[in-house]
Structure 1
Amino acid sequence: MLNIVVAGFDKALASAMTGVADLFGLAGVTWNVIQGQALEKTFNVKIASKDGGPIHCINGLQLGAHMSFAEVMDTEQKVDAIIIPTIGGPIEDVIGQNPELLQLLQHAHQHNWTIAGNCTGNFLLAEAGILDHKTATTHWGFKEQFQQHYPQIELKADQLITRSENIYCAGGGLAWFDLGLHIIERQMGFEAAIQTAKAFVIDYRRDTQLSYSLMRLSKPHKDDLVREAQTWLEQNYPQQFTVEDLAERFSISKRTLIRRFNAALDMPPNTYVQSLRIEAAQKLLEETERTVDVVMNDVGYEDASSFRRLFRKKTGLTPTEYRQRFARRL
């Protein structure tokens, strides 16, 4: 029996605690019940809090804890893995209010426990110093904040799951089930993981969160010329034009246009146009029944292979896969 501790804290996301507890607690159970087989419970799951008291989650629910962080660190306690849920409240406030949790994470790392953080919960792992010079991920919407605070960590925010030695990180808010299934596979084998996924009716082995992220093209800046160019591009992106054409339209040199786009938006004009077109294609695939080729032409592409290659690079999915996952069902 493997012992899993979910380390709770006030303003955590409740589902990232109860959901992962269900996933581990019912691995080897739910599927076996459905199939009429003998139960093979593998994980013993407990929830811990700073003082062993109730946890006040961000949605207003209170969750009871089995033990305190100090009890988790008791040398007589056998712990195989510790799970850190998503931070639902202001990240810096939560970090500042939980020095005991940072100490627990350092203790876990020193004792080589498996450590798994979900979404913004990975900020706690980073603050504890256990991710220094390692690979990590977090929710795509907090990429810049993470990079700014922890430049010594190799952030791969496009990935849904990362692993460095004994530390796992998961991306999005509900990626706890990807994280849980990944650990179940490593501990119990692929068959157990896929059976658990089937029992819970969830997809298994998603590997990217690109398709869930926004292009974030509206980054605030103070360059009036770039803002004017953005407005024109948002209205005319399906047209065929070059960077030289765009520079001539705004009476500046190509070199100056590229420099000012990079300074204002952290990308050159051609990348900005590509992102506009792919974002428009995503919207059309979600909301219309137009064929992929029609969508491609509507957003300004003529070469099918180039469009599909760029779409996959930006979203992690082919246009067809994207539509199957995100199209609105009437």
Structure 2
Amino acid sequence: MTQFSDDASVAILAYPGVQMSAVLGLADLFMIASGNSNRADGPELTVTQLTLPASAKSNDYDAVILPPNLTGARGEDATDILRWLRNQHATGTIMCSVCAGAFWLGHAGLLSGRPATTHWALEGEFRAAFPDVELAAEHLLVDDNDIVTAGGLMAWVDLGLFVVNRFLGPQTVSQTARHLLVDPGGREQRNYRSFRPPLGHGDAPVLKVQHWLEAHCETEISVKDMAARSHLSPRTFLRRFKAATGYTPIAYLQNLRIEKARGLLERTRIPVNEIGWRSGYADPSAFGRLFLKATGLTPGEYRGRFGVQS
């Protein structure tokens, strides 16, 4: 069994606009975990809250965490912070981020060619800013050894437990998770992800088809049918639809159908097979496979986690 014998130091960056509930929550989580570990004669985590650049120190930390940001800032002009992050990483520090905190790591040049995640709603913006990053926005947490990134605003809990596991061990993770009544693992962002059709692109024929699909997505629809609705040739329609929405017409339709199914699973007690049919899938097994691929859960599991209680 792996022994965890050395204390570790963690810096939490309270940069301008940071989500302070995450900063304080992480500090509390690490305090609870350290107490659990200490009672078993194990190591502890020393936590430092930094408000860079004013409080930047020369200390080398075992891990640095960039929590979420609530202001829309992305850190591209935070020269002192970005330089400090690069210097810390060069000393062997594990660099961690949650949600939009990944933008700071990206602008520091630490994610180039590396796998990472961020909040699913920031996927388009992140890909545009860092096209050379292997973004996996469907995952809640991506562990790439010295770079660890987590997804949504509350994913600081998942990252915190990951750090506890890394430095204090799985037994302390289990004790801490039970104390906090949180799930120590098994979640993915795609469990929560919603399809948000882009509607502000300004292409009227494409928008007309999108509105039609909203009302008729459960019916059998081909690209030829969509092109006819747009009064464009199929080739022109394909090109303009992809340019306006970022999706091929078939991929868009599949996303729309899965989103319709999500809503029915969440709000109703309609049988799963009927929900598949209402969403455009005559074959229940095909519906189940596609839903699992899109969400990471079977329709029944999704209803059990997010559905109304009868």
- Give me the TM-score of the superposition, normalised by structure 1: 0.85
The structure-2 alpha-carbon separation of the partners of 1:288 and 1:31, relative to structure 1 and needing over 3 Å to count, comes to farther
Q: Name the counterpart of 1:14.
A: 20
Kept after mapping to 2: 8 A contact 1:16/1:176:
yes
Q: Name the counterpart of 2:35.
A: 29
Q: Which runs of 5+ in 1 are unaligned?
A: 53-67
Q: CA deviation at 1:137?
A: 0.9
Kept after mapping to 2: 8 A contact 1:31/1:199:
no
Q: CA deviation at 1:178?
A: 0.7
Kept after mapping to 2: 8 A contact 1:138/1:170:
yes
Q: Name the counterpart of 1:63.
A: none
Partner Cα separation in structure 1 for residue 212 and residue 60 of structure 2: 62
Q: Name the counterpart of 2:184.
A: 204
The structure-2 alpha-carbon separation of the partners of 1:204 and 1:312, relative to structure 1 and needing over 3 Å to count, comes to same
- Range that drifts further, 240-249 or 211-220: 240-249
Q: Does 1:137 align with 2:117?
A: yes
Partner Cα separation in structure 2 for residue 171 and residue 116 of structure 1: 11
CA RMSD, 1 decimal: 2.1
**Residues paired across the two proteins, number:** 304
Q: Structure 2: which amino acid aligns with 1:12? A: V
- Range that drifts further, 111-120 or 209-218: 209-218
Q: Does 1:91 align with 2:76?
A: no
Partner Cα separation in structure 1 for residue 109 and residue 230 of structure 2: 48
The structure-2 alpha-carbon separation of the partners of 1:99 and 1:245, relative to structure 1 and needing over 3 Å to count, comes to closer
Q: Name the counterpart of 2:224.
A: 244
The structure-2 alpha-carbon separation of the partners of 1:129 and 1:304, relative to structure 1 and needing over 3 Å to count, comes to same
- Give me the TM-score of the superposition, normalised by structure 2: 0.90
Query: Identity percentage over the alignment?
Result: 35
Partner Cα separation in structure 2 for residue 11 and residue 95 of structure 1: 14
Q: Does 1:311 align with 2:298?
A: no
Kept after mapping to 2: 8 A contact 1:28/1:39:
no
Kept after mapping to 2: 8 A contact 1:311/1:317:
yes
Q: CA deviation at 1:114?
A: 1.1
Partner Cα separation in structure 2 for residue 5 and residue 81 of structure 1: 6
Cα displacement string for residues 242-280 of structure 1 (whole angstroms, at most 9, x for unaligned residues): 333333455544333322221221222222221111111
Partner Cα separation in structure 2 for residue 261 and residue 230 of structure 1: 9
Q: Which runs of 5+ in 2 are unaligned?
A: 1-6
Partner Cα separation in structure 2 for residue 259 and residue 244 of structure 1: 13
Kept after mapping to 1: 8 A contact 2:205/2:231:
no
The structure-2 alpha-carbon separation of the partners of 1:251 and 1:124, relative to structure 1 and needing over 3 Å to count, comes to closer
- Range that drifts further, 185-194 or 150-159: 185-194
